[in-house]
Structure 1
Amino acid sequence: MKQLLSIVVLACMMIVPSLGHGQDWSPKDSITLQIGFGAGGSTDIMGRLVAAKIEENTGWNIVVENKPGGGGIAMFSSLMRQKPDGLTLGLGVSMPIFLNLASRGDQIPFNIDTFDYLATIMRGEIAMVAKADAPYNTLEELIAYAKNQKGGIAVAFDAKPQQMVLEPVARDAEVKFKFVKHKSGAEQVQSILGGHVDVGCTAGEHVKYIESGDLKMIASMSKDRQACAPDAKTLIENGFELYLEPYFYIAAPKGLPENVKAALAKAFDEAINSDSVKQGLLNSMQATAHNLGPQGTHTMMSQGAVDIKALVEAATTQQQ
């Protein structure tokens, strides 16, 4: 009996380490992180920042590759055809994907469930902002001001969803917003400060100007109020059931083995929540690191796609 017990104990000692080892994973080759936008932009900056931290933490080799086109559509169209081995990943922005799927989904080769999701790096906080000395401080006051302007007011934007969210606001409030397309949030800020537009819709660029006293927030266009202007109400609090929350997220081809997905998710989480990445995001984009994790990212993508589709359908109905 003692001999049998010894054999059983020895077998268990041999099995347990092998099971533990089976749960571990590290890449046998370089990981390619494809970025759906060009070099030098905010998405590229954060992708390289996180990739460098993962290399430092794990010793893995991360190759960053820019694949711009269609707001991430070109990159994800390529990513879906890669092997689900953890060696090819993609960094994109949720809002352009939602908008494309909602407006021309029949022309896009993928949908939300085509990918596995690993992490979000940050959430873009979008705000309606104005010059500090503008004669209005809140959305309610802005609407009252707009009603007294014969031609309406000029509203800067740099992404179509910003216009799509504010069109119902103007319609319901019975005021006129003259939308002026800009190339970036930075360009919007200069237009506001130069007096060329009345308000703008910026995604992070406004923070340092609010802190310096050059701009003020008229309303938060995110779901929540923002730390840089806690007294500024959201559109929802102002009676408009509308919001924008673009997330920068990491995806992989569908079908990652669970141990591969777990290892990658852990590596991204540790990098995103590291002090150096948090500070880097704050310094370069006035943004706060915000990782939803694999399940949270999938939920965000699924719900966001539904919300934007409803917004697009509402806008289409109004135009008919």
Structure 2
Amino acid sequence: MPPRRRTFFAAAGAGLAMPAVLRRAAAQDAPFPSRSVTIVNPYPPGGSTDFGARLIAARMEPELGQPIVVESRPGAGTAVANAYVAAARPDGYTLLMGTTSLAVLPALQPHVQPREPLRAFTPVGTATRSPFVLHLHPSVPARSTAELIAYAKANPGKLSWGSSGIGAINHMTLELFRSRAGIDVVHVPYRGGAQALLDIQTGRIQAMFAAVQEALPSVREGKTRGIAVTSANRVAVLPELPPVAEALPGFETVFWQGLFGPAGLPGAVAAKLGGALRAATTDATVRARMAEQGVEAWPGDGEALRQTLARDSEMWGKVIREANIRVE
């Protein structure tokens, strides 16, 4: 090729390349967020976790000025979603609506990634908390936590106690309860809570810790008898139920949600996301809608979420080791 033509094509190629370089530089310099954000829900769509994630996401959108997509990636006790977000680019566009399961999985299934959630994620902020209702089939002659403990001690190994599955938070709550109360009951794990709720109504099982929004219709209709809640205080939708802690001082368990990014999330990005999250969790309308379902909006920063995860990891790890819980 003649020298002049080579010069022409080289200059033309450089001219075509420059806009791409400028575009990349502009994208890197663009203020966050410059496109839609995805929040990954580790449970199937339509459940209580999905409800909280979508309600919060909708309120965060005007704060960020971009759409937020809630994407469900269920599986392996939340491990599928956890691993997906942990491996994502730490740019703030892929986030995890993490739950209490992050504190349970490392001790329950040490082979599952990520093994160290505190290292794998950047805590952005707290989102929701919801206690469990301790409810019974009406055939159980107990109307309080103290009476239930006395009944279980008088009838060791005869009370069937359901849960959503081995390692589920209501199963962990049962293990903590029977350890603190010193009782012997039969654990009946299910694949999810729906069938367990049907079986407690028919008497196939006699007791269960269930999420407020799951137990509420059954208790109100008299199909089961609610006797306590696992939060430190009473719940507005079931104000007649005292905390378990009135019979077992210091007893408290909740199912929480918090927003996490991958490890290495830039501080400015985490701060912006955290500000939008706080706007959602302090919004009066959001709080009211959550309260209707027995869920508490839980404002808090990344440090509060980190401390919660660290504390619960220690607590549930101890429960799992002492009860020798294993997933086959």
Which bin holds the TM-score, normalised by the shorter protein? 0.7 to 0.9
Residue 222 (1) aligns with residue 231 (2): yes
Deviation by residue 1:192-239 (Cα, 9 ceiling, x = unmatched): 332332221111123455456554433333344444555655444434
User: Are the structure 2 counterparts of residues 87 and 246 from structure 1 closer, same or farther at C-alpha, using a change threshold of 3 Å?
Assistant: same
Q: Which runs of 5 or more structure 2 residues have no equivalent in the other structure?
A: 1-29
Structure 1 unaligned spans of 5+? 1-23
Which residue number in structure 1 is paired with residue 275 of structure 2? 266
RMSD of aligned alpha carbons: 2.9
Deviation at 1:247, TM superposition (A): 0.8
Question: Is this contact kept in 2: 1:48–1:64, CA < 8 A?
Answer: yes
**In 1, Cα distance between equivalents of 2:106 and 2:95:** 20
Q: How many residues are treated as equivalent by the alignment?
A: 292
TM-score by length of 1: 0.78
Q: Identify the match of residue 247 of structure 2 among 238, 243, 246.
A: 238
Query: Contact 1:118/1:250 (CA < 8 Å) preserved in 2?
Result: yes
Q: Structure 1 residue 300: deviation in Å? A: 0.5
Work out whether 1:33 is the aligned partner of 2:39: yes
Residue 104 in structure 1 maps to residue 113 in structure 2: no
Contact 2:235/2:294 (8 A) holds in 1: no
Q: Residues 148-205 of structure 1: CA distance to partner in whole angstroms, max 9, x if unpaired?
A: 4475112121143433443465467564312222344454443333233222111112
Corresponding residue SS for 1:222: coil
Which deviates the most, 271-280 or 43-52?
A: 271-280
Contact preservation (8 Å) 2:173, 2:209: no
How far is the alpha carbon of 1:271 from its aligned partner? Answer: 1.8
For residues 172 and 296 of structure 1, the distance between their equivalents in structure 2, rounded to whole angstroms, comes to 27
Q: Which of the residues 149, 157, 175 maps onto 2:163?
A: 157
Instruction: State yes or no: 1:294 paired with 2:302.
Output: yes
Aligned to 2:58: 52
Tell me whether 1:115 sits opposite 2:111 in the alignment. no
> Which is further off, 293-302 or 162-171?
162-171
* Structure 1 contact 129–201 (Cα < 8 Å) conserved: yes
Q: Does the CA-based 8 Å contact 2:79-2:112 persist in structure 1?
A: no
Matched-pair contact (CA < 8 Å) for 2:102–2:309:
no
1:73 and 1:277, CA in 2 relative to 1: closer, same or farther beyond 3 A? same
Structure 1 residues 41 and 172, CA, compared in 2 at 3 Å: closer, same or farther? closer
Following TM superposition, by how much is the alpha carbon of 1:273 offset from its aligned partner in structure 2, in angstroms? 2.4
Task: Quote the residue 2:87 is aligned against.
Answer: 81
Mapped to 2, the partners of 1:97 and 1:188 lie a distance apart of: 24
Q: Residue in 2 aligned with 1:137?
A: 143
Q: Determine the structure 2 residue equivalent to 1:257.
A: 266
- Report which stretch shifted further, 295-304 or 273-282: 273-282
Contact 2:156 2:185 in 1 (8 A): no
For the residues of structure 1 that align with 2:267 and 2:156, how far apart are their CA atoms?
Answer: 60
Q: Alignment partner of 1:219: what SS?
A: strand
- Equivalent runs, 1:136-215 vs 2, <5 Å: 136-149=142-155, 152-159=158-165, 160=167, 161-167=169-175, 169-170=177-178, 175-204=183-212, 205-210=214-219, 215=224
Seq. identity, %: 25
Question: Quick one: structure 1 residues 151 and 316, their matched pair in 2 at CA, closer, same or farther if it must change by over 3 Å?
Answer: closer
Q: Contact 2:137 / 2:205 at 8 angstroms: preserved in 1?
A: no
Q: TM-score, length-normalised on structure 2? A: 0.77
Deviation at 1:131, TM superposition (A): 4.4
Q: Deviation at 1:26? A: 3.3
Cα contact 1:152–1:175 (8 A) shared by 2: no
Question: Does 1:315 pair with 2:311?
Answer: no
Which residue identity lines up with residue 91 of structure 1 in the other structure?
M
